[in-house]
Amino acid sequence: MKDTLSLTWENRFASRADHMKSSAIRELLKLAELPDFISFAGGFPAPEFFPAKEIAATIDGICDSQSLQYGPTEGYRPLRELWAQRLGRKVEEVLITTGSQQALDLLGKVLVEPGSTVLVENPTYLAALQAWRVYGAKFHGTELDQDGLQVDKLPDQGQFLYTIPTFQNPSGATLSLERRHALIEWSERNQMPIIEDDPYGALRFDGEALPRLVDLDPHVVHLSTYSKTLAPSLRVGVLVGPAQLICKLVQAKQATDLHTSTLNQRIAFELDSNGYIEKHVQDLRRVYKERRDAMVAAVRKHFPPHTKMIVPQGGMFLWVTMDPDFNSVACLERCVAHKVAYVPGNNFHPYGVDLHTMRLNFSNTQPEMIEEGIRRIAEEL
Ligand SMILES: Cc1ncc(COP(=O)(O)O)c(C=O)c1O
């Protein structure tokens, strides 16, 4: 075909597109497909444990006209009812989203005014920062430690607080019970909304379960997902929050994707309501604990003796802190040449400082390969 039009797109992008950058992790994941590459970079579940047969059998039973037709923006009602019952709420307070990532984006669309400050943990989930930057958010990061967010260091102003209190991504830290109560008090004192993102809560393999923030205070906006307990490709997430907020989010979601795939919502509903997920998660907990143990042991064996780590009681990530003069970005380049990858800690900080930490994912690699991967990194340290 004759090329008569020479269009350049760059000068047509809206100014908000300036805030869109591809994530360092996604670029790295491309390399992880090379043979013999050991990637601790992505936040991937163990692929050997995807319940492919159960999902296929479920589809067989539900692939009817209801599953294939357009559905309500709020989500598949039985799935909303299941979550309403689970959290002791009304069905109007439950919205099904296309993964939790969509919930983060919709919250940004509805709540973030350009220039407003979102309070986050430092470090925090990279793709939440990415989602809200597009809407012009500024960030205030508050440090966390082994017991999660340092609540006493939180400021008293901001648009809302975003927290991942249980097996945090990236640090693996879990907010202690005492700090959970203190956080709710802080929120009441400052009239500050809390968004609790909880993709990993079901994946506890050590210690006692703690109440979710939403269990302590119904004003908390709670996000959950089937990505880590069933399969991320289904893209089914759940947002529980005040009906007034849900109404606005539904309007935002209508313009985004009309609704989340009904077929996928029904798969999640069937396998959740019949108790399958509860059993399946027990297998995941056992396997992830083995992998966590293998990684912690390998780091102790191969990394320098003063290396610090937060040993997570669940979830998928190990957060490692090296000497202050260590440069995890430069080290990653050497590691990639030796077919191993992690994510340098600076990616999880709103303003990119902190070069001496790294996030290592353990759920996606078998224990023998975990030891080998950690050994390869140690050689490059
Ligand atoms: C903290 C956190 N929030 C949200 C998500 C997105 O999950 P989903 O697959 O449900 O979009 C992830 C995925 O890794 C995550 O770690």
107 and 232 co-located in one domain: yes
Q: Is residue 1 part of a domain?
A: no
Q: pLDDT value at position 7?
A: 80
- 199 CA to middle of ligand 1, Å? 6
Give 3's pLDDT tier (boundaries 50, 70, 90).
Answer: low
DSSP 309: E
Give SS3 for 188.
helix
188 and 165 co-located in one domain: yes
Q: pLDDT value at position 30?
A: 76
Q: Is residue 62 part of a domain?
A: no
For residue 316, how many other CB atoms are within 10 A of its CB? 28
Give 19's pLDDT tier (boundaries 50, 70, 90).
Answer: confident
Checking if the pLDDT of 24 tops 70, the result is no
321 and 265 co-located in one domain: no
Q: pLDDT value at position 23?
A: 63
Rounded to whole angstroms, how far apart are CA atoms 61 and 48?
A: 24
290 and 178 co-located in one domain: no
β-strand partners of 318: 360
For ligand 1, atom 7, name the residue with the nearest CA: 100
- 235 CA to middle of ligand 1, Å? 10
Residue 168 Cα: closest atom of ligand 1: 1
286 and 259 co-located in one domain: no
Q: pLDDT value at position 276?
A: 98
Contacts of 321 (CB under 8 A, 6+ apart): 307, 308, 309, 345, 356, 357
99 and 221 co-located in one domain: yes
Checking if the pLDDT of 29 tops 70, the result is no
Rounded to whole angstroms, how far apart are CA atoms 74 and 107?
A: 15
Residue with tokens 């990505």: 227
Query: Residue 374's closest CA among 36, 44, 38?
Result: 38
Structural domain containing residue 360: 16-50+278-380
- Give me 329's structure tokens: 């970005």
Q: Is residue 59 part of a domain?
A: no
8 A C-beta contact, residue 98 and residue 76: no
100 and 212 co-located in one domain: yes
What are the CA-CA distances from residue 381 to residues 32, 333, 360 (Å)? 20, 11, 15
267 and 303 co-located in one domain: no
Each residue's pLDDT tens digit, 44-84: 999 999 999 999 999 999 999 999 999 999 999 999 999 99
Which of 230, 248, 275 is where one domain is finished?
275
CA 217 to chain centre: 22
For ligand 1, atom 16, name the residue with the nearest CA: 169
Q: Is residue 5 part of a domain?
A: no
Give 26's pLDDT tier (boundaries 50, 70, 90).
Answer: low
CA 240 to chain centre: 16
pTM listed for this prediction: 0.96
Which of 221, 250, 275 is where one domain is finished?
275
Contacts of 302 (CB under 8 A, 6+ apart): 374, 375, 377, 378
For residue 41, how many other CB atoms are within 10 A of its CB? 28
- 212 CA to middle of ligand 1, Å? 17
87 and 213 co-located in one domain: yes
Q: Is residue 341 part of a domain?
A: yes
Give the pocket of ligand 1 (CB within 6 Å). Answer: 43, 99-101, 125, 164, 169, 197, 199, 225, 227, 232, 237
β-strand partners of 308: 321
- 84 CA to middle of ligand 1, Å? 21
Residue with tokens 């320098």: 304
Residue 232 Cα: closest atom of ligand 1: 9
Residue of 23, 25, 44, 101 with the most ligand 1 atoms within 8 Å of its CB, for mutation: 101
Q: Is residue 40 part of a domain?
A: yes
- Give me 225's structure tokens: 């997902």
- 5 CA to middle of ligand 1, Å? 41
User: Pairing relation of β-strands 308-310 and 161-163?
Assistant: unpaired
Sign of the Cα torsion 277, 279, 285, 288 reads negative
Which of 245, 275, 305 is where one domain is finished?
275
Sign of the Cα torsion 197, 200, 206, 211 reads positive
- 26 CA to middle of ligand 1, Å? 14
Number of domains in the chain: 2
Rounded to whole angstroms, how far apart are CA atoms 374 and 368?
A: 10
Rounded to whole angstroms, how far apart are CA atoms 337 and 276?
A: 42
- 222 CA to middle of ligand 1, Å? 13
221 and 286 co-located in one domain: no
Sign of the Cα torsion 114, 354, 297, 312 reads negative
Residue 164 Cα: closest atom of ligand 1: 1
- 295 CA to middle of ligand 1, Å? 22
Residue of 98, 222, 227, 235 with the most ligand 1 atoms within 8 Å of its CB, for mutation: 227
The CATH number of the domain holding residue 249 is: 3.40.640.10
Q: Is residue 348 part of a domain?
A: yes
105 and 239 co-located in one domain: yes
Residue 225 Cα: closest atom of ligand 1: 10
The CATH number of the domain holding residue 374 is: 3.90.1150.10
46 and 97 co-located in one domain: no
Please compute the mean of the pLDDT values over residues 319-331 and round it to a whole number: 94
pLDDT, the chain, mean: 95
- Give me 103's structure tokens: 């919930």
Rama region for 219: left / alpha / beta (φ>0; ψ in -120 to 50; rest): alpha
Q: Is residue 10 part of a domain?
A: no
